[in-house]
Chains A and B, each alone.
Chain A
């Protein structure tokens, strides 16, 4: 890859992003513009902004690597992402969120919950949860972007991290949500083109749909260790109730598929459009975008096994064995495949696609963390709603705090925690926010006491499961080992692979309903 050409392409890309950020700045006149895009965003822009914030680099590179190992069963996640993450989210949750958000003049996701239940505690607590956990996710996204600059441009990692985050924070700080949406839409378009070309080339190389049969015929090549865990080939679901089945179904499909409904940085997008018809219209570009962005990595990731078998007589995992550890590094799968199979010009396009995916997610996160700190936690909760005229300066201060916190986390956190940060964030959002959010939109009988009890139950039950039971996280966090000398209290059993969302979410929902009903009966 020619470094000069790549630098020129990235330079042009950065100029366009800068221009769009400036457009956002020029058209931001009020707090409503800064926080919810003046509630006048076009549906196509909204859907691309929603989708590109939703899909980060890890969804493309990381999950394609996972698909190369687990196979196409992951397409259930694509199906859930479209059906729940777009159809249910836009047509059912989105339309209600927009209407109630406008009625209550809510400017953020925590403010929607707080005003719906007339509670500054709910708003402040939700803002607090976002301010504490979202920087973990943002740090993971930021590291992905910085690694790109480090590897491709030969920059020092610390410098890459700072340069990458600084570019994003400048257009979020000045452009507010309009700057975020305009740049997201541009970045989303690049991502869409990149993925379409990747799918087209892969299918045309491998013989279109007949490649599925060829991959099915390779099931005897699955490594014995994976077969023992329940793997039955790259075009079949793992064996029911096996370790691999639980990992795929509970963590990946349920965790990410359902977790998406209650993500604050996505929910706030529904409040950026003028009326319901914009949300119905946004279904069309939104669903096509998510189909391509999540479906292509899973299909191509799985098919790399066929490609490498035909070219090198090796399955994908064998192509990415790290010489230092002797273990496969699945994050290298897609870069390796692109180096082997795709034309050189695509490598440039793909690099910009990854950069766009990381930047579009990070910008939405910076905005959500900043408004949570400035608006929800400080102004509406701690300052009891005073200084309304200073909403934008507070939000801007919050964005700067988010920038510093995320950078510090990215420099200092252990790699093991960074790797699970996305799952931690998605799971916590579902356990704490989802029952409260559904109650706010659809259940008049929900009470403030019920919702607060449910949110606290969700937070504690999810947290305890993460710290002491779910081995993937409890072993990385280390508290269980420190207190009990075991990486998980249920190590060696199926419970150790059951995702915390399957514990925290039902408990939170049950407590919300039971306490609300009891409170209603009392009154």
Chain B
């Protein structure tokens, strides 16, 4: 296939292109899937009081 000497290399070549196509199609399908930035649970400059016992 495609002049390669081995099925696995031909598969890798094809899968590189298909993976890119997957990313492009998925990106287009979710173009407007939004999830606005949530309000921070911790205010930006809060001095967090962590319990360190593990």
Contact = CB atoms under 8 A, between A and B. Distances in A.
A235 B9 contact: yes
Nearest to B37: A102
A121 B52 CA distance: 7
**Which residue, of B9, B36, B47, has the highest number of chain A Cβ atoms within 10 A?**
B9
Contact of A277 (B32, B41, B44): B32
A313 to B, nearest CB: 21
A105 interface: yes
Interface string A89-105: 01100010001001111
Contact of B5 (A32, A99, A235): A235
Contact of B36 (A75, A213, A275): A275
A105 B12 contact: no
B3 A104 contact: no
A319 B35 CA distance: 55
Contacts of B3: 209-216, 235
Contact of B23 (A87, A212, A276): A87
A506 to B, nearest CB: 23
Interface string A29-62: 0011000000100000000000000000000000
Contacts of B13: 72, 75
A236 B16 contact: no
Interface in A208-244: 209-216, 219, 232-233, 235-237
A162 interface: no
Contacts of A214: 3
Contacts of B23: 82, 86-87, 90, 283-284, 286-287
Interface string B17-52: 101101110111011111111101111111110111
Contacts of A494: none
A42 to B, nearest CB: 14
A99 B4 contact: no
B44 A105 contact: yes
Interface residues of B, number: 42
Contacts of A287: 19-20, 22-24, 27
B4 A236 contact: yes
**Which residue, of B27, B46, B51, B52, has the highest number of chain A Cβ atoms within 10 A?**
B27
B42 A115 contact: yes
Interface residues of A, number: 64
Contacts of A448: 54
A291 interface: yes
A214 B3 CA distance: 8
B29 to A, nearest CB: 8
Given A82-B16, A87-B22, A216-B3, A277 B52 contact: no
Give the secondary structure class of A's interface: helix
A175 interface: no
A273 B13 CA distance: 32
A339 interface: no
Contacts of B44: 31-32, 105
Nearest to B24: A284
Contacts of B38: 99, 102-103
A99 B26 CA distance: 19
A129 to B, nearest CB: 18
Given A105-B42, A118-B50, A75 B16 contact: yes
Contacts of B19: 79, 82-83, 86-87, 287, 291
Given A287-B19, A287-B23, A291-B20, A72 B12 contact: yes
A385 B33 contact: no
Contacts of B27: 280-284, 287
Contact of A237 (B8, B37, B45, B54): B8
B41 A118 contact: no
A102 to B, nearest CB: 5
> Which 8 pairs across A and B sit closest by C-beta, in order of nearness?
A212-B3, A213-B3, A287-B23, A236-B6, A283-B27, A280-B30, A75-B12, A105-B40
24 contacts: A72-B9, A73-B12, A75-B9, A83-B22, A99-B38, A102-B40, A104-B40, A104-B41, A115-B48, A118-B50, A120-B50, A215-B3, A232-B6, A235-B4, A274-B37, A276-B34, A277-B31, A277-B32, A284-B28, A287-B19, A287-B27, A291-B19, A389-B45, A449-B54
Given A82-B23, A277-B32, 8 more contacts: A73-B9, A76-B12, A79-B15, A87-B22, A212-B4, A274-B36, A384-B47, A389-B45
